Amino acid sequence: MIRLFVVDDHALFREGLVRLFEGEQDFSVCGSAGSLEEAVQRLPGTNPDVLLLDVDLGGARGLHLLESMRPGPCKVLVVTAGVGDREAGWMIRAGAAGIFHKQRPPAELCAAIRAVARGGVVLDERWARLLADSSPPRMTEREVRITKLILRGASNKEIAGEIGAAESTVKAALRTLFEKMGISTRSQLVKVALEQYQDQLT
């Protein structure tokens, strides 16, 4: 039995998925949520095998749940009407096991869930290329130094003093790093640096 948790802010679509899954003998719906806040409250303790996650949660983004909650051992299948390349890349790097378009038939969604539950990756050819091309770009010597200081908890002002540059230069370097890594926050920088740049930081 594959335990499912559905997160989607469109009640009609969410309830339709629940009814669809209830008709599948090997699926069991252990919970659902219509917002990021509800998901944070309801997901703990439900122990789903697969979390179906919408991208747009009415003012919040599904990526925030991936980054803030770390759904644990469950697999995450993003079910979306559309997502940009950058956010798709972020979701894949954050641990999503697949991206599935809402326009596709219900039978294909059920097949995708089963594949993800078995440990597979479900991506359209476009997203598969994105994943294949997602090897991290090299950091410059200055970027490595800044990243090491960030890992130690240094502020922009402290970094500027350490590298002998203006604070505005540090901010510009961070913007470049964010763009290079496909991220938008310092916490994401720490995560990506530890996961993908160990060879450059040692």
| Residue range 74-108, pLDDT digits in tens | 888 988 887 777 677 777 777 788 889 888 899 99
Domain span at residue 183 reads 141-201
| Residue range 38-79, pLDDT digits in tens | 888 888 889 899 999 888 776 667 767 776 655 467 888 988
Paired tokens of 171:
């901010």
Do both 16 and 114 map to the same domain? Answer: yes
Do both 107 and 148 map to the same domain? Answer: no
The domain tally of the chain equals: 2
The model's pTM is 0.63
Instruction: From 102, 132, 162, give the residue that closes a domain.
Output: 132
Do both 49 and 148 map to the same domain? Answer: no
